[in-house]
Amino acid sequence: MALRKKAGEPADGGGRHAAGEDPSKRTQILDGAKRVFSRTGFDGASMNDITREAGVSKGTVYVYFSSKEDLFGAMVEREREVLLGDVIALLEGPEPTDERLTRYARRLVTLLCSDEVVRWVQVLIGTSAKMPELGAKFYEGGGQKGWRKLREFLDREVEAGRLAIPDTGLAAHQFAVLATAGLWRRRLFAHLAEPPDAALVEKTVASAVQVFLAAYGR
């Protein structure tokens, strides 16, 4: 299923649209593309499926996006911010640090191991070889942003004297991976067919907080 043309310069696709283009039509196309790409991956999706799902004609898609790759990129661009959403907000509050970390981790694991996110990440990682900048961009908007927020939170906690962390950037990574401790990895490889149940999540999260605080708590 090799691509016919290496897609020279994406004509438009990026964002700003020429005179006469209908932004709602663009949204409509992206919505259809999202559903189809998520179901079948990049190579598995046919432009036919996408036009059918979006309810527009083939020609119209090519008015808004110069190629399949361009469309895929635009969709990633639009979606990447949405996935992690407001998880960060859970870190804030008057509760003790461990409680807030637990709350945050619980939500993070549940989200990352959900069918939707796993599917999405599989698709993105699968295309990272062909379109590396896309994977990177996606990570920027997803994991990277979350990491930055978490680091800032840790900085504040350190400043407040509630944690003692020499390298909060590294610690933020550590907490994130401790939270999923193998669950996410196994989900990506389909070694876990279903999202982990609440008990497993709870056990993993509790241990993650405990290990983290054993190292960085006061």
By CB under 7 A, name the binding residues for DNA.
Answer: 1-7, 10-11, 18-22, 25, 45-49, 56-60, 62-64, 66-69
User: Closer to DNA at the Cβ: 43 or 98?
Assistant: 43
Size of the site for a second copy (CB under 8 A): 59
The nearest distance, CB 94 to a second copy, in angstroms, is 27
User: Closer to DNA at the Cβ: 44 or 85?
Assistant: 44
Q: Spell out where 118-167 has E strands.
A: none
Nearest CA-CA partner of 88 in 142, 165, 19, 28: 142
The nearest distance, CB 141 to DNA, in angstroms, is 24
Task: Check residue 144 for interaction with a second copy (CB under 8 A).
Answer: yes
Task: Check residue 128 for interaction with a second copy (CB under 8 A).
Answer: yes
Report what 132 binds from a second copy, DNA, none; CB cut-off 5-8 Å by kind. a second copy
Our measurement of the distance from residue 169's CA atom to the centroid of its chain's CA atoms, rounded to an integer in Å, reads 19
Contact 42, 72 (CB under 8 A): yes
**55 torsion bin: left (phi>0), alpha (psi -120 to 50), beta (else):** left
Task: Check residue 27 for interaction with a second copy (CB under 8 A).
Answer: no
Task: Check residue 62 for interaction with a second copy (CB under 8 A).
Answer: no
Question: What's the DSSP call for residue 65?
Answer: -
User: Closer to a second copy at the Cβ: 28 or 144?
Assistant: 144
Binding mask 41-60 for a second copy (x = CB under 8 A): xxxx-x--------------
CA geometry: angle 127, 130, 132, nearest 5 deg = 80
Q: Going by C-beta distance under 8 Å and a sequence separation of 6 or more, which residues neighbour residue 5?
A: 67
Question: What's the DSSP call for residue 89?
Answer: G
Cα–Cα distance for residue pair 14/212, rounded to 1 Å? 41
Nearest CA-CA partner of 91 in 132, 149, 174, 16: 149
Report what 62 binds from DNA, a second copy, none; CB cut-off 5-8 Å by kind. DNA
User: Closer to a second copy at the Cβ: 85 or 182?
Assistant: 182
Query: Which residue in 30, 87, 176, 201 binds a second copy (CB under 8 A)?
Result: 176
Query: Which residue in 2, 19, 82, 160 binds a second copy (CB under 8 A)?
Result: 2
